[in-house]
Structure formats: structure tokens, C-alpha cells
Structure 1
């Protein structure tokens, strides 16, 4: 081959390589080119669902593509979580999840088909917010203080409580409080907070452990009464409600958090893009105000920090689940 011919061939190859590189960058930078699914593993109406719809609306405006919330419920949130874990890591299927994702795998019976390891099978994107858990009773229970509640429980006049499901933070709190207070209430598990609150209001269960969002609207009328918060100190969203710690109940600090994760194998560039979008949304005044209505404190984080939190909770709650023999029905 003559020198001029080799030069022309080299120029052509360089042009092709440049075109391919540019095309790849354009493809990466064009995300998304179709609707994005923000999956919620719990029924509509609960905190996770309410927040997911808020962020979906904001994310739609930023991405220029519809962000659709899909509720895929069952098995304590593991069905929806396992579905996302097995999805393509292209950013079009994301999970809006509470910290139950770190608890439920310990609770599953073998062979359920909904198993996953949150440390390995999910890609952390960002921590969105934290929540406190409360002890809440129906007014018909006839108690207004935690001391009276414990007395009634020991006497057998209070026997059951509602929860969003086996392996939820509320279920964990119930077992820890049973131990600390020397009582034994039986869990009535529901498929999320919303249906549990319906039965609490109807008197089918006398009390439940809950985040503030689904129940606080019933406090002013006296239909529901908050007895305590499961933190070391009082919640700024309910400053008149004492903490279990100040009331003398030890080792019962259990909270909740909300985060966004994706399937394993997502590219670092895509993760950082989504992380920035969600963290920017968290700074919007109207979003902060809306989160306050369901008593969620905005957080924000980098993906690595969320990964560490997921792993730490997985270890902690794994020990608690084993101690109390918690298992899904």
C-alpha cells in the first residue's frame, strides 16, 4: 500500500472511531428516551407511595420524559424489590423504598421466589429522608399514656396491634417494645400502612406502630392518640409526644428512611446523574414543605453513603429478626 493510501485509510479509521465515540456519548447523554418507572412495593396511600408520586412529578419535569409510579405489592415489599433487582440496569426501572428493603430478606421463608440481597442486588442512588415511628392507639382503647397502655397489655385487655407487614420497621419496633415493657401483643400484619390505618380507625385493631404521615390527620379529632415516639428524643413534628427513651424504655430506638435504588449493574455515570436529580429535588422549597406534611426530614446523600446505611441496617436487623424468630406467613 502506498504512503498516501495508508494515510487515507488511517484518516478514515480515525473518523469512524470518532463517530462511534461521539455516538456512544450521545446515547449516554440522551437518557432518558422513554418513560421511567418508579416502582413502589406497597399499596397506594402510604408514605412511600405519597413521596414517590411527589418525586415522580418533579423528576418528570427535569428528565423530559414521564416518570410513572407503579405499585407492585406483596410479601412485605419483597416482590416489588426483587422485580427491580432483576430489571435491566438502564435507569428505566427504579425503586422508591423504605428501609424495609434491608429487613425483609431476613424474614422470608426459603423458596418464596422473591429473595434478594440488598447489599449486592441493588444499586444505591440516594437517601431521601428519615422518619420517626410512633405508638398510636384508637381512642376506644381507653388509654392516653404509655404507662396505661402497658398496664392494659399486661392485663390482657389489649392483645393485638397492626403493622404494615412482617419484617417492617414497625414490626421490629413492636418486638423490641414487647421485650422492654414486658408485654406480649400479637401482630396483625397488613400489606402496607394504609389498610392498617383503615382497620385501626374501624377498631378492628386497637393500636399500631406507624410513621406520622398516615395517622396524624386523626389526632386533632381525638380518633387516634399518639402515646410515644421511638426515638431518643422527641420529634420536631410532634413535640408534645414523649419519647420511649425518656419514659424509661431502653433499646427501642427504631426509625424509618426512604431512598431510591436501582437494579445492580447500573453505570456510575447514570447513578451520578440520577443522584444529582434527586438531591436537587430535595432542595426545592415546595418539596421540603410537602415532605413535612408526612413528617419526613429531607436528607440527601451520595450513593456510597446509602450503600453503607443499607449494609449496616441489614446486619443490625438480621440479628434482631433471628433473636425474635420473625418470619413471614
Structure 2
């Protein structure tokens, strides 16, 4: 009995000591610079959001937060890099929703693969972004009807740009092609910025894209929004009709972005970062800047991001299989 009692007391002391040590360690985090990986080139909306968040987080934690662009393979390269990092809170990933589905479209090997559902620790969903169908001013399209007519019928086809194979924009393009009975040719780019640049230059007539990178070109007519793929009109562009309003049902895709850590990131670090980001996402200047980038703040518990990721993986996995979507 005494032997059992001594073991119980020793175990209780060990647990208490571990808790105190864990709390003290969490209080000390971070004690060195944090790297925030963006798996896309500089200049896109994910990169712009990362730099906004990095500046605010750095001020709050008293350590540099450095944005590290690691583009390639529709975000797979940068995501895989973070999945293999030490789970110490010093290497994080800010990812768009391409994160959930890129590997379902692109072939990966052991070096570049990652486990979408179990290979990372969700920290916070930072934002939500409606997707728009946007035409080049030189395309001659003034409505969705014009674009559909250009892509429909024998011998007709219409090219559309996306930020990459496996992106929500790519999936949306293929869903719309099915719903509208049109012939659409996917032209993938390595990120948002190069896709928008080629539509601006008239090299590709239309794109499925988030609002931020294209909105500055609406006023001068260089680009024209034809439709939005959200359930309701976006408050960021209330005059743009939804695809459902224009007769295309069940073609609803909304992009998002979120902060991830490697698998096994401690709950203490998740709680610390989640708290900072929830505060950051309520700052008026951040809300205003995110609106310019076509993004609405989300926040909430880490589970919000985890559930959003899992839902997209399941839903779009079925769509990708049904439509036979593969990398171009």
C-alpha cells in the first residue's frame, strides 16, 4: 500500500512539475524570430496578408516575424517544407485553401507530399474570400452571357487563367464549365500576380480569382467583374451578380486562408498564436486592409480552420473525381 501511495505521489509531483515547466516555456515563447512561410511568389494576396500579419505579430511578441516565400507546385513545395519543420512554433505556414486540394490534382512524391488532414496543426482561420469571374477589358465581354457564348458550341473554346492547378479557382472553372455546358481551357500560373498580369495584358480573356488583386482595375475598365461564386452578393462588390442569380446553380466556391503549424505543435503555442491573431483580426486597420485585398476576417478557435479544411478536402475531392480534374 505504501509503495503504491509513494508512486501516486511521485506521479502527481511529476505532472505538476511538467505543467509548471510547460506554462513557463509557453510564457517564454517566442524567444527568437518566427518564420512565416508563404508557398507562393511575392505579390499575391496570400503574400500581402502574410506581411500584414507578420508586422502586427512581431510588434505583439517582441520578435521579428519573417515572411519566407517558397513557391512551386501550387503551394505544395512550401506546405511540405513546413510539414517537416520542428513543431516548436518558429516555422509557420499561411496558406490559402489550395492547401486542401492541390495534392488531389497534382501528382506528388514522398519528398513533396504532406498529409492534408493530419500532417499539420491548425491555429486560426484568418480570412474568407469570395471568388469572381473577371474578364479582360479587351475581351469585348460586358456580361457573363457574352463569355458563355464565346465558349459554347462546336469549335468554340475559352481560355481562363487561375493561380495554379488544384486551386479553388481551377476547381470553380471546371464546375462552371460543366454547369454552363461550355468548353473552357485552363491556363494555370504560379500564383495570383502572374495570372492577373496576363489577363490585364489580354493574353487570357478571363480568370476566376479573388477580388483584391483585380478590384483596382475595375474603375478604368481594364478588367470587368462578370459574376461572383458566393451564395450571396459580396458586400465588397455588391453590384456584381452571383452565378446562381444568372442561372447557374450549385456553382459555389469560396476561398479562405489560415495559419498552420507542423504536426504536434503544443496546445500552449496554438493558444498563444490563436489569441494574438484573434486580436489582430479585430484591429480596424487590419480589417480595412483585408477588405482592400478582398478578404473578410474570420478568427475563432483553431477547430474552425481544421473543420473548414476537412470539409473542403471531402467536398472538392468528390468534385475532382467526378470531373476528372488533373494538373494541366
Q: Quick check: 2:156–2:183 contact (8 Å CA) kept in 1?
A: no
- Asked if 1:265 corresponds to 2:267, the answer is no
- Asked if 1:293 corresponds to 2:270, the answer is no
Structure 1 residue 305 displacement after superposition: 2.1
- Asked if 1:58 corresponds to 2:48, the answer is no
Tell me the distance in 2 between the aligned counterparts of 1:314 and 1:21: 36
Distance 1:154 1:112, change over 3 A: farther
Q: Quick check: 1:158–1:206 contact (8 Å CA) kept in 2?
A: no
Structure 1 residue 233 displacement after superposition: 1.6
Q: Quick check: 2:23–2:268 contact (8 Å CA) kept in 1?
A: no
- 2:275 maps to 276
Q: Quick check: 2:87–2:261 contact (8 Å CA) kept in 1?
A: yes
- Asked if 1:114 corresponds to 2:112, the answer is yes
Alignment RMSD: 1.9
TM-score, normalising length: structure 1: 0.91
Q: Quick check: 2:106–2:165 contact (8 Å CA) kept in 1?
A: no
Q: Quick check: 1:233–1:246 contact (8 Å CA) kept in 2?
A: no
Distance 1:247 1:29, change over 3 A: same
- 1:77 maps to 75
Q: Quick check: 2:128–2:296 contact (8 Å CA) kept in 1?
A: yes
TM-score, normalising length: structure 2: 0.92
Partner of 1:38: helix, strand, or coil?
strand
Structure 1 residue 226 displacement after superposition: 0.4
Structure 1 residue 55 displacement after superposition: 0.3
- 2:163 maps to 164
Partner of 1:238: helix, strand, or coil?
coil
Question: 1:259-286 deviations in whole A, cap 9, x for unaligned?
Answer: 1011000011110111000001011111
- Asked if 1:312 corresponds to 2:311, the answer is yes
Tell me the distance in 1 between the aligned counterparts of 2:276 and 2:286: 13
Tell me the distance in 2 between the aligned counterparts of 1:23 and 1:227: 57
Q: Quick check: 1:163–1:171 contact (8 Å CA) kept in 2?
A: yes
Structure 1 residue 115 displacement after superposition: 1.1
Tell me the distance in 2 between the aligned counterparts of 1:101 and 1:27: 30
| Larger Cα-atom Rg | 1
- Asked if 1:212 corresponds to 2:211, the answer is yes
Give the gaps of 5 or more residues in structure 2: 1-13
**Correspondence 1:139-178 to 2 at 5 A:** 139-155=137-153, 159-178=158-177
Give the gaps of 5 or more residues in structure 1: 1-15
